[in-house]
Amino acid sequence: MLYIYRIVILIFKRIFFGELSSEYYFGVQMFRKCYPATPISFKTCFKTEVILHLHKLCIKKPGLNLYKTLELIQFDNQIPGVNYKQIIKKKGKPESAKYELVGDKLIKVIGFRAVIYGRAVRIVYFFIDNCFFLGEYQFRSYDKNLLESISTVLRDKYQCNIHEQDSTYYITDKCGSLICFDNTGFNLCVQYYFPQLEEIDQYLSKVILKTTMKGEIQLEEGKNLMEVPL
């Protein structure tokens, strides 16, 4: 009887709030804790914790090259701090989402499918208080040609003399915006972070530094698709 009641509540949340809503997301998470074998799931942008995506941006990895550019860094032709509803209005309904409490703030993540250089990619937006502060291009698969193509685009667009042997590196502009090109050997992610949104940057840096000192962070390595530029 309790199982049926929880199923009904979950169905209500999906219908009333939407299949990619935070209400339905946390409802599914709670349901799966009670019933691990359930086939009910939520289409998330990624399986790892959100805070892992923020760590190498707020606390930069030592020994990596940091290239400086005079060009302004932009992600997917969007302005840093743009509102969540404006992104939805421009790009349409996302195909995936994720929600996570970082400190006492809820981070909202939405993903869109696209194609870059003939490869499937997920374009991901991160929001705090509905304010866009971080974007990612997540590649499911890649090869040497794709790595070279993306690095060439970044080198030409931002006029940086990126070393060919760099597998992971940073690019920053005069506003402090940051690109992190991260090739782990298992996956490829190109992140765009905008720390000029000072309240958000200070909050995240404080929370991430605190959780790192506590040892709570453990680092670990269908749709219609459109060709998009970096």
How far apart, in whole angstroms, are the C-alpha atoms of residue 207 and residue 201? Answer: 10
* pTM, 2 dp: 0.86
- Tens of each residue's pLDDT in the chain, 230 residues: 788 888 898 899 999 999 999 999 999 999 998 888 888 889 999 888 888 888 777 767 778 889 999 999 999 989 888 999 999 999 999 999 999 988 888 999 999 999 988 888 999 999 998 999 999 999 988 888 888 889 899 999 999 988 877 888 999 999 989 999 988 777 889 999 998 777 888 888 777 766 654 444 443 333 344 444 55
For residue 214, what are the CA distances in angstroms to 43, 133, 211? Answer: 31, 25, 5
Please give the pLDDT value at position 212. Answer: 55
- pLDDT for the residue numbered 229: 53
By residue count, the chain amounts to: 230
Please tell me whether residue 51 adopts helix, strand or coil conformation: helix
Residue type, 136: E
Read off the DSSP letter of residue 42: -
The dihedral of CA 87, 89, 94, 98: what is its sign? positive
Strands 66-68, 168-172: pairing is parallel
DSSP assignment of 89-155: HHH-S-SEEEEEEETTEEEEEEEEEEEETTEEEEEEEEEETTEEEEEEEEESS--HHHHHHHHHHHH
Structure tokens belonging to residue 222: 């269908």
Q: Which residues contact 13 (CB under 8 A, 6 or more apart)?
A: 21, 23, 24, 27
- Taking each helix axis from N to C end, the angle separating 198-213 and 50-58, rounded to the nearest 10 degrees, works out to 100
- Residue 220's pLDDT is what? 36
pLDDT at site 113: 94
Task: Look at residue 225 in the predicted model and tell me its pLDDT.
Answer: 43
